[in-house]
Structure 1
Amino acid sequence: MKPMITNILFATDLSQNSPYALRHAASLAQATGAEIHVLHVNEPISDDARITFEMFVLNDETRKSAAKRRHEMVKKVLAERQARFWAALEGDDARIRDQVTSVEVTDGHPAEVILRRSVELGCDLIVLGAHDHGFSHTFLGTVAKRVLRRSQIPTLVVPYQNGDDD
């Protein structure tokens, strides 16, 4: 008997490959009737950035406000990209959007948050995109490697796709 996919966690880093990876999550959801949970995790700022920020922004309230604005800006970018992705679909494909049951932006260490939320949401599949080949990233990326290493459920890492597949 085949395991049933009922809840998919689509973890996005808002990179160029994200729409391509979302296409795979949506296709799987369409084929199985699964719900899609969209998650983006804001990485904590580095210690160097934090120190610099504290040096130049002396007011604690202003620092808190800036952190809140950062979080809100990412929510806005995610909402815009989701809207653009779903608007490009037609017919039966457009109805897959109804299977998205949550869209969440949170702060933390991405791999840990992805793994924790997959358990909390009762997901049976994680979908995320790989990074492109380059000097600053390995093929999979650190987050994908950590998720793959520690995940207790199947995890689909969608390879980087060259081209204009937005």
Structure 2
Amino acid sequence: MTQQILVPIDGSASARKALAHAVLVQQATQAWIHLLHVPEIPVATDALGAMVGASPADYTPEKGRLTGERLLAEAWRAVSGGSDEVTYHVEEGRPAHVIVQLATNLGVDMIVMGSRGQSNLKSLMVGSVSHKVSHIAPCPVITLHIPD
């Protein structure tokens, strides 16, 4: 029986679809859901910062964590049906690595995640996060995608 589910949330429509699916599994099995957000450090908008790929001067990891917590809370409120069987995690790092590491540390039974649907060429060259996770995760991975 599924006891714990990890759902990475990046704000995409596919991630919202994955969370809705995870909630259906939760309702059927009384599983605990762990929501994860891995902040993407924004690129500066000024000419020099953008040219060198620097982050904005006012960005801090604390701001990234707070933004991530708000994103997770909003996503959960939208689909939870009032359940409080959830834990929020905001972790920095390379998304695929962070997802697999947290899944391992928590001993989750399943990862349910969205696929952003990168173009075939880009996905072929750099690989998608969901593709990487599905190959190295310590548990089954369900990937949901909303086509363009």
Q: If the length of structure 1 is used for normalisation, what is the TM-score?
A: 0.70
Distance of aligned partners of 1:6 and 1:81 in 2 relative to their CA distance in 1, 3 Å threshold: closer
C-alpha separation between the residues in 1 aligned to 2:138 and 2:9? Answer: 19
C-alpha separation between the residues in 1 aligned to 2:74 and 2:30? Answer: 25
Q: Does residue 31 of the first structure (1) align with residue 25 of the second (2)?
A: no
Q: If the length of structure 2 is used for normalisation, what is the TM-score?
A: 0.77
Given that residues 44 and 108 in structure 1 are in contact (C-alpha distance below 8 angstroms), is that contact kept between their aligned partners in structure 2? no
Residue 155 of structure 1 corresponds to 141
RMSD: 3.0
**Residue segments in structure 1 that go unaligned for 5+ positions in a row:** 87-93
Residue 98 of structure 1 corresponds to 84
Residue 76 of structure 2 corresponds to 82
**Residue segments in structure 2 that go unaligned for 5+ positions in a row:** 44-48
Aligned residue pairs: how many?
A: 141
Q: Does residue 145 of the first structure (1) align with residue 145 of the second (2)?
A: no
Residue 109 of structure 2 corresponds to 124
Q: What stretches of structure 1 move > 3 A for 4+ residues in a row?
A: 43-46, 48-54, 132-139
Overall identity of the aligned pairs, in %: 29
Which one of 63, 73, 90 corresponds to residue 69 of structure 1?
63
Higher-Rg structure is: 1
Given that residues 9 and 127 in structure 1 are in contact (C-alpha distance below 8 angstroms), is that contact kept between their aligned partners in structure 2? yes
